[in-house]
Chains A and B, each alone.
Chain A
Amino acid sequence: MIKIMLGDFSVKKTKQIFAHLFLMLLGVGEANAEYALNMPRGVTRISNDVYDLHMLILWICVVIGVLVFGVMFYSIYYHRKSVGHEAEQFHDNVKVELLWTVIPTIILVAMAIPATKTMLEMDDVNEPDITIKITGWQWKWEYDYLDSGVHFFSSLDAESNQARQLNSGVEAADVDNYLLNVDNPLVIPVNKKIRFLLTAADVLHAWWVPEFGWKKDNVPGFINDAWVSVQKPGIYRGQCAELCGKDHGYMPIVVIAKEQAEYEQWLEEKKAQALAEASSADRQWSQAELMAKGAEVYQANCASCHMADGQGVPGTFPALAGSSIVTGAMDGEVAMVLNGRGMMPAFGAMLNASDLAAVISFTRNGLSNKVGDSVQPLIIKPMLAAMTQPEEDDDW
């Protein structure tokens, strides 16, 4: 094990002094936000190993740097023409040159040993207690608990989403966990080996929670794996780390680690909630209900491309207001929303029948469209069943 040379107290103090010096120099007023200078130690054994590797290589670099630049600045000070130093004319020394080739090689080999050890441990995803599939979407995360069937999407919370708009007039500092908060956090139990299977639905993403000590790419059409075993209950936040388009900066990750009992309770709640949502498709919805629910679903799923007012982004994302598909025959829009086309994802795979019926009805009667008709969840439900049929046979 590598011990860090400075105690916690002095690290904190140096940190504060440095930061304050910086800020004073620039005349920036005191801010309340918690900033950090170093990598977090994290909450898993692996993340601690990674932190130790990071500090070890950092200190090796600092020592080499002090020695090498010490020699250089000594030379700059004493071997100047202005202090009358005469230039010597040597230009080779085999012994010295061998020495400064061999010594760095030895240091590197010494460094490679603990790095390899950690690498091998990180790679070992065998015998997990729980497996969760993480799918990256533009621009949200989908979590699929393969053992218990719990499944949901997780996107940027509404408050951050409102504040992040260009010139929104909302101060970022007034929003709780600005850009690092989601509507549905991932919940895991502590001290269990959790295996993540990572993939993507559209473009590359990368799932990164710094407190866990790693990030891994989500590649569409391929599955990567990684694992954590969190030692401490708590809320851990992260972000997508691979550029995935315009809202790359707006797909945070929140993981809540709970004790086993609390986790199981959460699991039951989620299951009950899913049942309730599924049965909601079996009744008739009123127009007002559809419009209210639809507006909500639209903001969460459609507004990032088609914009809150349905005007789209010229050249990239088509407008829905006045669109020939949205104002045309119902079948056309339903097919488009369920199956997607080009950059438009297949929402049939993402939303339930009630949400789909609501959002389709909303686009036809909101966003300055006035078609007048609406669609019931009861109509959408069999279509979804038909879509997912072949996939359910796949036991992957």
Chain B
Amino acid sequence: MSAVTSAHDEHDDHGPKKGFMRWLTTTNHKDIGTMYLVFALVMFFVGGAMALVIRAELFEPGLQFVNPQFFNSMTTMHALIMIFGAVMPAFAGFANWMIPMMIGAPDMALPRMNNMSFWLLVAGGVLLFSTLFMEGGAPAAGWTMYPPLVLQTGNSLPFAIFSIHLLGVSSIMAAINIVATIFNMRAPGMGLMKMPMFVWTWLITGFLLIAVMPVFAGAVTMLLTDRFFETSFFDAAGGGDPVLYQHIFWFFGHPEVYILILPTFGLASTIIPVFARKPLFGYHSMVYATIVIAFLSFVVWAHHMFTVGMPIAGELFFMYATMLVAVPTGVKVFNWIATMWKGAMTFETPMLFTVAFVVLFTLGGFSGLMLAIAPADFQYHDSYFIVAHFHYVLVPGTVFMIIAGTYYWLPKWTGHRYNEKLAKVHFWMSTISVNVLFFPQHFLGLAGMPRRIPDYAVQFAEFNMISSVGGFLFGFSQLIFLYIIIKTIRGGEKATGEVWEGAKKHGLEWTLPSPVPYHTFETPPKIK
């Protein structure tokens, strides 16, 4: 495939290979983008099913369905699959599909590596999933895999660690590819400060990934040698320190959560201007805010460890640094609202999800600010309050924007308009149920319910029941999403090239026909 030369006319549309070999050997950024998105969607439902096992068990006090060990496996695997299987691949899919088209490039800079990074992701995902069937069960020490507990894992530990290595290699390759593409493949005239915000946020995300994935790989490798080769990095009896792992893990882990949110910011900054029919407010401050957030992400990691017993100077430093994150994040939210201000807004589904994102993500931001206050965190820490917090930023935050991005670009990818009415049903169902699901968890945490427990005291019964009802509603609402996507791929009202009124002004991708031809921008477009 990659041997295909480009000595053809601009609109000459090469057909891809037929059958399975097309997907196995493809180096086309659109094919690879599609595969990433399909993989992410499948994992979204797999991880979601695990979440429903958790919510079913927590529906009422007492153990009804699973034993505590399997329950812990579910919380662990749910998180790993959602983070590494669903959210990160979804963003890699968007990046693959859209970044070349947004910057006027014919493809990604490193197309063969692109193929490899996707298939390594599949290998890592399958390996991780297979641990469920191993003796001793899947990893059950939480997605953070703190030693010494994680070292008690059964046979699955080395497999889980190897799958993390594979997923890490895959992410690093994807990140290198994206950074290389953005730096080298922009159409003439597209300076860095003319790039769309989605491209900017992914550029910074790429650097974060390259910086921290090796750190994570190092941490889990030390687990491996502690377990099998008699090192004692994390064992006090041999001169090590279990808390060292936490420092290394969160040095990766905090930038990681921004890896999950920065492309989300980019999507919101892309979608709001189109539906407000206005340019993005404060483009420059958006770029700077993103860079500042990325920088801060490296110096706030220990706020995940306020209760671990740090020296007072450490507690105070990490409290102040964490509170600072609110400033650039606030700038972003204010900019989005200023973009809506005095626009001529319409509320098609992508915009609806984006508005819900702005409100609900900010709510998660508020609880984040509360968690930053170290003395108060001594109460919130490891309670359901933190569970509510990070699910607010990740579900109506990140996942909502992935859904918004899908609705936004689906007509461009497939050439068909999706069913707007049904999509709005999907929006309202999701938005209402996500709040029924996660809002009561704030109350549970404040009232004293710890996270990661399969059973609870009876004073937590009411809100757990409400939360579980919300969970099942939210889960099943996503079947509407699946239905809409399949239906739109198969057919429907033809979409124009521009798709959204006036979208041409907002991005190069809307100057192309819908569906996009297999090869685009073989000669670079002119940027004014």
Measuring CB to CB, which residues of chain A are less than 8 angstroms from any residue of chain B?
19, 22-23, 26, 28, 31, 33-40, 49-50, 53-54, 57-58, 61, 64-65, 68-69, 71-72, 75-76, 79-82, 85-93, 96-97, 100-101, 104-105, 108, 111-112, 115-116, 118-120, 122-123, 163-168, 170-173, 177-180, 198, 202-204, 206, 208, 210, 213-217, 219-222, 224-225, 238-250, 313-316, 343
| CB <8 Å contact, A179 and B382 | no
Please give me the residue from chain A that is nearest to B363 by CB atom.
A65
Nearest 7 CB-CB pairs, A to B? A221-B236, A249-B453, A172-B61, A224-B309, A214-B378, A36-B447, A61-B366
**For residue A64, which residues in chain B have a CB less than 8 angstroms away from its CB?**
366
| CB <8 Å contact, A35 and B447 | yes
| CB <8 Å contact, B320 and A173 | no
B237: min CB distance to chain A, Å: 6
User: Contact flags (1/0) for B65-87 with A, using CB distance below 8 Å?
Assistant: 01111001000000000000000
| CB <8 Å contact, A180 and B148 | no
Q: Can you report 21 residue pairs joining A to B where beta carbons are below 8 Å apart?
A: A22-B440, A35-B463, A38-B447, A49-B375, A61-B369, A72-B355, A82-B346, A87-B277, A90-B342, A91-B278, A92-B281, A92-B283, A101-B330, A163-B62, A178-B457, A198-B309, A217-B308, A219-B236, A220-B242, A243-B452, A249-B453
Q: Which of the residues A213, A222, A225 comes within 8 Å of B243, measured between beta carbons? A: A222
CA distance A76 to B374 in the complex (A): 36
CA distance A168 to B337 in the complex (A): 54
B316: min CB distance to chain A, Å: 6
**For residue A68, which residues in chain B have a CB less than 8 angstroms away from its CB?**
333-334, 337, 362
**For residue A242, which residues in chain B have a CB less than 8 angstroms away from its CB?**
146, 382
| CB <8 Å contact, B457 and A204 | no
Q: Which of B359-396 contact A (CB under 8 A)?
A: 359, 362-363, 366-367, 369-370, 373-376, 378-379, 381-383
| B341 beta carbon closer than 8 Å to chain A | yes
| CB <8 Å contact, A316 and B136 | yes
**For residue A22, which residues in chain B have a CB less than 8 angstroms away from its CB?**
440, 462, 466
**For residue A217, which residues in chain B have a CB less than 8 angstroms away from its CB?**
307-309
CA distance A220 to B155 in the complex (A): 24
| CB <8 Å contact, A33 and B279 | no
| CB <8 Å contact, B366 and A179 | no
Please give me the residue from chain B that is nearest to A107 by CB atom.
B326
**For residue B340, which residues in chain A have a CB less than 8 angstroms away from its CB?**
72, 75-76, 79
**For residue A23, which residues in chain B have a CB less than 8 angstroms away from its CB?**
462, 466
- Of the candidate stretches B45-53, B137-145, B510-518, the one touching chain A is B137-145
| CB <8 Å contact, A221 and B63 | no
**For residue A177, which residues in chain B have a CB less than 8 angstroms away from its CB?**
457
User: Contact flags (1/0) for B139-162 with A, using CB distance below 8 Å?
Assistant: 011100010110010110000000
**For residue B312, which residues in chain A have a CB less than 8 angstroms away from its CB?**
119-120, 123
| CB <8 Å contact, B243 and A172 | no
**For residue A314, which residues in chain B have a CB less than 8 angstroms away from its CB?**
135
CA distance A180 to B366 in the complex (A): 31
| CB <8 Å contact, B355 and A119 | no
| CB <8 Å contact, B455 and A249 | yes
Residue with the greatest number of chain A CB neighbours at <10 A, chosen from B146, B327, B375, B447: B375
Do A215 and B277 contact each other (CB < 8 Å), given the known contacts A111-B323, A172-B62, A222-B236?
no
| B459 beta carbon closer than 8 Å to chain A | yes
**For residue A91, which residues in chain B have a CB less than 8 angstroms away from its CB?**
278-283
| CB <8 Å contact, B68 and A249 | yes
| CB <8 Å contact, B342 and A179 | no
| B276 beta carbon closer than 8 Å to chain A | yes
CA distance A313 to B315 in the complex (A): 41
Q: Which of the residues B61, B72, B345 comes within 8 Å of A243, measured between beta carbons? A: B72
**For residue B141, which residues in chain A have a CB less than 8 angstroms away from its CB?**
243, 245
**For residue A168, which residues in chain B have a CB less than 8 angstroms away from its CB?**
62-63
Please give me the residue from chain A that is nearest to B382 by CB atom.
A241
**Assuming A97-B282, A177-B457, what are 8 further A-B pairs, CB within 8 angstroms?**
A49-B375, A57-B369, A81-B346, A97-B331, A164-B63, A178-B458, A204-B146, A343-B152
Residue with the greatest number of chain B CB neighbours at <10 A, chosen from A28, A76, A246: A246
Q: Which of the residues A118, A119, A245 comes within 8 Å of B152, measured between beta carbons? A: A245
Please give me the residue from chain B that is nearest to A23 by CB atom.
B462
Q: Which of the residues A26, A35, A87 comes within 8 Å of B344, measured between beta carbons? A: A87
**For residue B379, which residues in chain A have a CB less than 8 angstroms away from its CB?**
39, 50, 54, 210, 213-215
A345: min CB distance to chain B, Å: 12
**For residue A343, which residues in chain B have a CB less than 8 angstroms away from its CB?**
152
B274: min CB distance to chain A, Å: 11
Residue with the greatest number of chain A CB neighbours at <10 A, chosen from B63, B370, B448, B456: B448
A216: min CB distance to chain B, Å: 5
Do A54 and B370 contact each other (CB < 8 Å), given the known contacts A71-B337, A81-B345, A101-B327?
yes
Q: Which of the residues A89, A101, A167 comes within 8 Å of B279, measured between beta carbons? A: A89
Please give me the residue from chain B that is nearest to A39 by CB atom.
B446
CA distance A40 to B443 in the complex (A): 11
**For residue B452, which residues in chain A have a CB less than 8 angstroms away from its CB?**
243, 248-249
Please give me the residue from chain A that is nearest to B148 by CB atom.
A203
Q: Which of the residues B154, B283, B460, B469 comes within 8 Å of A35, measured between beta carbons? A: B460
| CB <8 Å contact, B63 and A166 | yes
| B285 beta carbon closer than 8 Å to chain A | yes
CA distance A246 to B136 in the complex (A): 12
B203: min CB distance to chain A, Å: 21
| CB <8 Å contact, B466 and A26 | yes
User: Contact flags (1/0) for B276-299 with A, using CB distance below 8 Å?
Assistant: 111111111100000000000000
Please give me the residue from chain A that is nearest to B366 by CB atom.
A61
B164: min CB distance to chain A, Å: 18
| CB <8 Å contact, B381 and A215 | yes
CA distance A163 to B68 in the complex (A): 14
| CB <8 Å contact, B149 and A245 | yes
**For residue A108, which residues in chain B have a CB less than 8 angstroms away from its CB?**
323-324, 326-327
Do A79 and B330 contact each other (CB < 8 Å), given the known contacts A91-B280, A217-B308?
no
**For residue B154, which residues in chain A have a CB less than 8 angstroms away from its CB?**
315-316
User: Contact flags (1/0) for B28-60 with A, using CB distance below 8 Å?
Assistant: 000000000000000000000000000000001
**For residue B337, which residues in chain A have a CB less than 8 angstroms away from its CB?**
68, 71-72, 75
| CB <8 Å contact, A204 and B341 | no
CA distance A58 to B363 in the complex (A): 11
| CB <8 Å contact, B278 and A100 | no
| CB <8 Å contact, A96 and B309 | no
| CB <8 Å contact, A204 and B242 | yes
| CB <8 Å contact, A171 and B62 | yes
CA distance A247 to B367 in the complex (A): 29
CA distance A111 to B136 in the complex (A): 48
A62: min CB distance to chain B, Å: 8
| CB <8 Å contact, B281 and A35 | no
Do A50 and B378 contact each other (CB < 8 Å), given the known contacts A108-B327, A216-B309, A217-B309?
yes
CA distance A315 to B370 in the complex (A): 42
| CB <8 Å contact, B460 and A26 | no
Please give me the residue from chain A that is nearest to B76 by CB atom.
A243
**For residue B280, which residues in chain A have a CB less than 8 angstroms away from its CB?**
91
| CB <8 Å contact, A239 and B450 | yes
| B196 beta carbon closer than 8 Å to chain A | no
Please give me the residue from chain B that is nearest to A214 by CB atom.
B378
Please give me the residue from chain A that is nearest to B381 by CB atom.
A215
**For residue B369, which residues in chain A have a CB less than 8 angstroms away from its CB?**
57, 61
Q: Which of the residues B63, B235, B331, B455 comes within 8 Å of A167, measured between beta carbons? A: B63
Please give me the residue from chain B that is nearest to A120 by CB atom.
B312
| CB <8 Å contact, A219 and B63 | no
| B465 beta carbon closer than 8 Å to chain A | yes
Do A246 and B140 contact each other (CB < 8 Å), given the known contacts A86-B344, A220-B236?
yes
A278: min CB distance to chain B, Å: 29
CA distance A108 to B458 in the complex (A): 38
Q: Which of B309-359 contact A (CB under 8 A)?
A: 309, 312, 315-316, 319-320, 323-324, 326-327, 330-331, 333-335, 337-338, 340-347, 355, 358-359
| CB <8 Å contact, B344 and A112 | no
Q: Which of B239-254 contact A (CB under 8 A)?
A: 241-243
| CB <8 Å contact, A247 and B68 | yes
**For residue A119, which residues in chain B have a CB less than 8 angstroms away from its CB?**
312, 315-316, 319, 374-375
